[in-house]
Amino acid sequence: MAKILIIEDDKFLRELIARKLTKEGYEIVEAIDGEEGFKKVKEEMPDLILLDLILPGIDGFGVLEKIKDEPKTSLIPVLILSNLGQKDEIEKGLKLGAVDFLVKAHFTPEEIVEKIKTILK
C-alpha cells in the first residue's frame, strides 16, 4: 500500500483528498505547513507527496527544493496542487523537480486521485 503525504494548509481540502485516497487504499500522512511537511517527508518517507505552494512558513517551492536537495528524499515524486497557475509558477515547480502541477480549480478530487494512481504505477 502506497503512503502519500499531503502538505496542504486548507483543512477542508486536505481532509477531502485524504478521505478519497484512504477509500482507494492509500496510507495518508498530513501536514499543515511547509516545516511540518518537510519533517514528515524525512520521518515517513512517503511514496508520493501532494504539495500545496501557498503554505505558512516555508512555501511549497521551498519545501520542494529541500526535498530534492536531500539525497534520501530526492527521488520521491512530488505532485504540486495549487491555486497558483501562472505559466512561470508551473515552470518553476517542474524545474525544481515536481512530476506534475495541478491547478486546484481545474481538477476534481476524483481527477486528482486518478493522477496520483498514474504517477504511482
- Cell 529541500, located at residue: 66
Could you give the CA distance from residue 38 to residue 74 in angstroms, rounded to a whole number? 12
pLDDT confidence tier of residue 85, bands split at 50, 70 and 90: confident
Nearest to 76 by CA among 57, 50, 101, 103: 50
Could you give the CA distance from residue 113 to residue 91 in angstroms, rounded to a whole number? 23
pLDDT confidence tier of residue 114, bands split at 50, 70 and 90: very high
pTM of the predicted model, to two decimals? 0.96
The b/e string for 73-88 (b: 16+ C-beta within 10 A; e otherwise) is beebbbbbbbebeeee
pLDDT digits (tens, 9 = 90+) for 15-51: 999 999 999 999 999 999 999 999 999 999 999 999 9
Number of domains in the chain: 1
Q: What is the CATH number of the domain that holds 9?
A: 3.40.50.2300
Domain range for 35 is 3-120
Instruction: For the chain, give the percent of residues with pLDDT over 70.
Output: 100
